Structure 1
Amino acid sequence: MKSTISAALAAFIVMGAIIATVEEAGAVVCARGVYRAGCATTRGAAVVRRPPVAVHRRAVIVR
């Protein structure tokens, strides 16, 4: 019983440590948006722009 409680307590401590760690923002996360990801570099905030949307249209040929 005592070992079960100590194992559960250790598991909660490890999970809390994993949740509390701060990781650097990766390129994939920064691509979602600077404000949402909090992307900052040593020279300032990273600016990410989305590419323009391409519209495909079908050509209609009238004979």
Structure 2
Amino acid sequence: VIRRAMDLGAAAIILVHNHPSGDSSPSRQDIAMTRDIADAGQKFGITVHDHIIIGKDGFSSMRSAGLI
């Protein structure tokens, strides 16, 4: 993810994915992966603004939930 952002010259990214289960709540794995990506991005001057998860019940913003 960070490599692609670097290739595109991005200063910031927003991650988005869906949960086929329909539950848009972030899983422990989602939180851990997001933090890992944000840490890696920080080393290269790339900010992760948000990670949005889409489900049947709507969406969740990890930024709004205070998870990043």
TM-score by length of 1: 0.25
More strand by share: 2
Greater relative contact order, per chain length (Cα 8 Å cut-off, separation 6+)? 2
